[in-house]
Amino acid sequence: MHVVKYMFQQHGDARGMLVALEERRDIPFEIKRVYYLYDTGQGVRRGFHAHKSLEQILVCIHGSCKILLDNGHEKKVAALEKPYEGLYIANDIWREMYDFSPDAVLLVLASDFYREEDYIRDYDEFLKSINHK
């Protein structure tokens, strides 16, 4: 499954911590879009889609959440609990985000602008698209 957990370099000293993310250095694609999810209700599950070509890196910069990842053949769960952890998710991977702590802020760096045509929002359609490749 093309999913990679990154541990970003932390620049810390007695004053506190800082993480810097640079395109093509820390992030393996050009960053065209940044968005973030916050105030996610307790027990809410979000996502439920795959992308035809979009690549993303998710960083839970505050709080924690879990991500179910599914490439059509295997499933796994990744937990994001630290502001220096990043989760790279390639295209063609179904994802569901859940177990958001009340204070969670999930930052997403994306390789392209928002295009609804890039989404596969139906799970059966996702499985068909995988099996046709």
Give the interface with ligand TYD as residue ranges (CB under 6 A): 33, 35, 37, 46-47, 49, 114
Nearer to ligand TYD among residue 18 and residue 44 (C-beta)? 44
Query: CA torsion sign, 89 to 93 to 97 to 98?
Result: negative
Least distance (Å) between residue 30 CB and ligand TYD: 16
Q: Cα–Cα distance between 64 and 16 in angstroms, integer?
A: 20
Nearer to ligand TYD among residue 28 and residue 47 (C-beta)? 47
Least distance (Å) between residue 121 CB and ligand TYD: 8
Query: Distance between the two ends of the chain, CA-based, in angstroms?
Result: 15
Q: Which of these, 81, 85, 122, 82, lies nearest to 3 by C-alpha position?
A: 85
Q: Which of 2, 11, 49, 132 is catalytic?
A: 49
Residue 51 catalytic? no
Nearer to ligand TYD among residue 49 and residue 66 (C-beta)? 49
Least distance (Å) between residue 3 CB and ligand TYD: 17
Q: Residues with Cβ < 8 Å from 11, sequence gap 6 or more?
A: 17, 18, 19, 20
Q: Cα–Cα distance between 60 and 37 in angstroms, integer?
A: 9
Nearer to ligand TYD among residue 37 and residue 109 (C-beta)? 37
Q: Cα–Cα distance between 93 and 101 in angstroms, integer?
A: 24
Least distance (Å) between residue 15 CB and ligand TYD: 33
Q: Which positions are catalytic?
A: 49
